[in-house]
Structure 1
Amino acid sequence: MASQPERNLIQSLESAVVVMYLGKSSKDKRDVYYRLAKEQGWRARSAFKLMQVDEEFSLLEGVTKAVDLCAAPGSWSQVLSKRLVENKKEGQEAKIVAVDLQAMAPLPGVIQLQGDITKQSTADQIISYFDGEKADIVVCDGAPDVTGLHDMDEYIQAQLLLAALNITTHVLRPGGSFVAKIFRGKDITLLYTQLKIFFPNVTCSKPRSSRNSSIEAFIVCQDYTPPKDYVPNMGTPLLDLPPMDEQGRSNRTIVPFIACGDLCGFDSDMTYALPVAGEGYKLLKPVQGPITAPYLSAIQKKRKGFFNEQVSKKIGQ
């Protein structure tokens, strides 16, 4: 019979596998936006973030060509697809190009490109889909795998946003808009300054569906106006500004901050009671499960007794 430490080890290994099953029934089922996303057919709750930002700024009004960077699993592409189809007039064609390093399940009306947003070839391929024209809007909901070290996470996210901005300078038409996720930190004002070089109107927004406990926000850049004689170049870093200029003046810029969405509506930080009246709570499957999810290999390992073998080896030591 296994001792208590051995039983604890077995239980912890089994729990690690169970956590990977939680796409269908997890504590997130109490998150109202998580539930609404399933009920309305969105692939992720992040769809509400773009809708609430658009509600505040009317970014998708009249848009017929859009680029979605770091698109997987595709919730923002779903929102773009719905709105752009509504916008197109007779004889017009709505085009959406979704780009991500990961494979993404197909979406009707969305051109999918599996590529790296830091490469020139990716920018050229996006432009080719628009037949030489440019996009009306570029959106990016991408974020790195957070480490929990806030300074490092904020820096990596800022570099990802600059990579998205760099490719945006290749594919966005003058007067277009750019929306991207940011992590607000102590040096975020330097990032605002870099964006102000290309966009006269820059606003930091916080959708209602984004948790207050999260440092994420969304930068809304409007009226794309590149500097005179600026030539986009993917081969060099984009405007890595120091905190002070040559004259000793601060390079930091403060931009407006706006809360988006109905402030009397659902609160993403609250835990709402499940609708269990009568028949009980009905579990909904994810709208689109991941194509190559890590938990699928974990399930196979469990079925083949991999974790039991690891426990035996640990006990043998």
Structure 2
Amino acid sequence: MTRPGGTTIKNSRRLKVRVKTGKGRTVSQKTWLERQLNDPYVAEARKLGYRSRAAFKLSEIDDKFRFLKPGGRVVDLGAAPGGWSQVAVQRVKATEGKGKVIAIDMHGMDPIPGVVIFHKDFYDEDAPQLLIEALGGEKADVVMSDMAAHATGHRQTDHLKIMALAEAGFAFATDVLKPGGTFLAKVLRGGTEGEMLKMMKRHFESVRHVKPDASRSDSAELFVLAMGFRPID
């Protein structure tokens, strides 16, 4: 499968890099570093100037479902380090004045051409209206979230934490999306995502799980994609 830059990432082959367990480096840190060094998506992200390999996940999903359209208004929740915002800018043509991308993250992030960045918690009461004003007074076409809480190592705890973020993102999206809009968020397999889907189906014409190739096969990570927003009074 071809990604931005014309590289067939999935089938690319490189010599495997092995990392020694050095002073001050744990086995788990060694394993993580080895995986990063041998991940073709990480290498391609560096080559193309993307801030994270997650950029390819959004690219793949949008290649299939086409919700990031030229002229679109996009809100990226928990956007740091900015990989998803970089993809959105390209696809809505924000640097050409055709679309808008608003990124919000409580930790802040480095500037990205074409992106308006708010160093702010999207849980704040004034956040929805602030972002709508930044979009020129219009609501968003897309709200997206690749947020994940810090892992504890306890599977069920981590699942509940990321689902809480996804549900908060969904509640936020219902405030700022225009009719027909799209919501995309990271979730994890584990049980409670079924309840979230039922809730979302009341507000959207179609709701589905997607797992792009760039999402590691051994990961419980999924993305929930809801399209065709229907406001409920």
The structural deviation recorded for 1:31 is: 0.6
**Equivalence for 1:50:** 58
**Residue 63 (structure 1) shift:** 4.5
How far off is 1:184 after superposition? Answer: 1.2
Determine which of 181, 184, 189 is the counterpart of 2:189.
184
* Residue type of the alignment partner of 2:129: D
Question: Helix, strand or coil: the match of 2:41?
Answer: helix
Task: Report how far residue 86 of structure 1 moved.
Answer: 7.5
Aligned residue for 2:110, secondary structure, equals coil
Q: State the Cα distance separating 1:203 from its structure 2 match.
A: 0.8
**TM-score w.r.t. length of structure 2:** 0.84
Q: C-alpha displacement at 1:131, in angstroms?
A: 2.3
**1:80 equivalent among 76, 88, 94:** 88
Q: 1:199 to 1:63 in 2, by over 3 A?
A: farther
Pick the aligned partner of 1:121 from 121, 126, 131: 126
Q: 1:139 aligns with which of 144, 160, 172?
A: 144
- Say which one has the larger Rg: 1
Name the structure where strand makes up a greater proportion of residues.
2
Which residue number in structure 1 is paired with residue 38 of structure 2? 30
Identity fraction in percent: 33
Question: 1:61 Cα deviation (Å)?
Answer: 2.7
- 2:171 paired residue number: 166
* Equivalent residue pairs, number: 212
> Cα distance, 1:87 vs. partner?
10
Q: Deviations over 1:258-293 (max 9, x none)?
A: xxxxxxxxxxxxxxxxxxxxxxxxxxxxxxxxxxxx
- Structure 2 segments unaligned to the other structure (5+ residues): 1-20
Per the alignment, in what secondary structure is the counterpart of residue 204 of structure 2?
Answer: coil
**How far apart are the structure 2 equivalents of 1:63 and 1:39?**
27
What CA distance in whole angstroms lies between the structure 1 residues aligned with 2:35 and 2:230?
45
Which consecutive aligned stretches of 4+ in structure 1 deviate over 3 angstroms post-superposition? 19-23
> Following TM superposition, by how much is the alpha carbon of 1:95 offset from its aligned partner in structure 2, in angstroms?
1.1
Structure 2 CA distance, aligned partners of 1:180 and 1:190?
Answer: 15
CA-based RMSD = 2.4
Alignment of 1:282-301 (within 5 A): none
- Contact preservation (8 Å) 2:95, 2:114: no
Partner SS, residue 76 of structure 2:
strand
Partner of 1:15: 24
Equivalents in 1 of 2:70, 2:47: separation in Å? 28
Q: Take 2:204 and 2:87, find their aligned partners in 1: how far apart are those partners?
A: 24
TM-score by structure 1 length?
0.62
Gaps of 5+ in 1: 1-11, 230-317
* Partner residue in 1 for 2:211: 206
Report the counterpart of residue 224 of structure 1 in structure 2: 229
Q: CA-to-partner distance for each residue in 1:41-61, whole Å, 9 max, x for gaps?
A: 111000000000001111113
Query: Quick one: higher RCO (CA 8 Å, sep 6+), 1 or 2?
Result: 1
Q: 2:200 maps to which residue?
A: 195
Q: How far 1:226 moved relative to its partner?
A: 2.1
